């Protein structure tokens, strides 16, 4: 006679299967499946700083997307920390830090560009306006 537990695997069995499928070796120490979007957050966070040539707009979008994804994944992790692998959690945190730095810097750069444009615009319009005849 077989017990019903063997026929119907409980949550731990499923998690073990997932960990064997997705993450056979976890050097970080923890067992479990990788967090969703951990690598995406890391890559986006690093890309966000390399995109300063476009007035910081692409950097800002990349950084903000990475931050949103990271916060979602962190919320998922906090509901059940034991099921996810420790190395992907580390990746997620690293990506989050990179994204925060990248977002702040590209935001500052964008503000700098806007201020520069305003100053440039006022100077130019002033110079042009001086040339116009006054009625």
Partner 1 sequence: MIHWLEQHLFPCLSVKYLGIECPGCGMQRAFIALLKGHLYEAWQYNPALFPFLLTILLLIFHLKFDFKHGARLIVMGFVLTTSAMLIQYGVKQFRKHQMVQNQAEMPLCSDFKKEKHVF
- The reply to whether 93 sits near partner 1 by the rule CB under 8 A is yes
Alpha helices in 9-85 (DSSP H): 11-22, 38-50, 57-79
- The reply to whether 72 sits near partner 1 by the rule CB under 8 A is no
**How many residues at the interface with partner 1, by CB under 8 A?**
30
The CB-of-10 to partner 1 minimum distance in angstroms stands at 29
CA 67 from centroid of its chain's CA atoms: 4
- Give the whole-angstrom CA distance, residue 55 versus residue 75: 32
Closest CA to 57 of 109, 96, 118, 97: 109
CA 92 from centroid of its chain's CA atoms: 8
The CB-of-87 to partner 1 minimum distance in angstroms stands at 6
User: DSSP string spanning 66-116?
Assistant: HHHHHHHHHHHHHH-GGGB-HHHHHHHHHHHHHHHHHHHHHHHHHHHHHHH
Query: Contacts with partner 1 in 45-64 (CB under 8 A)?
Result: 45-46, 49-50, 52-55
The CB-of-97 to partner 1 minimum distance in angstroms stands at 5
The CB-of-77 to partner 1 minimum distance in angstroms stands at 14
- The reply to whether 30 sits near partner 1 by the rule CB under 8 A is no
Chain positions contacting partner 1, by CB under 8 A: 25-28, 39, 42-43, 45-46, 49-50, 52-55, 87, 90-91, 93-94, 97-98, 101-102, 105, 109, 113, 116-117, 120
């Amino acid at each position: 006679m077989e017990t019903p537990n063997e026929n119907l695997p409980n949550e731990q069995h499923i998690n073990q299967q997932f960990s064997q499928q997705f993450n056979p070796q976890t050097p970080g120490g923890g067992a479990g499946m990788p967090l969703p979007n951990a690598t995406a957050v890391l890559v986006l966070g690093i890309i966000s700083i390399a995109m300063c040539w476009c007035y910081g707009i692409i950097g800002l979008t990349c950084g903000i997307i990475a931050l949103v994804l990271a916060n979602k994944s962190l919320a998922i992790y906090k509901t059940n920390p034991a099921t996810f692998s420790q190395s992907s959690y580390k990746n997620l945190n690293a990506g989050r830090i990179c994204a925060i730095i990248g977002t702040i810097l590209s935001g500052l750069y964008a503000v700098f560009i806007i201020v520069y444009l305003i100053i440039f615009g006022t100077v130019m319009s002033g110079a042009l306006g001086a040339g116009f005849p006054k009625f």
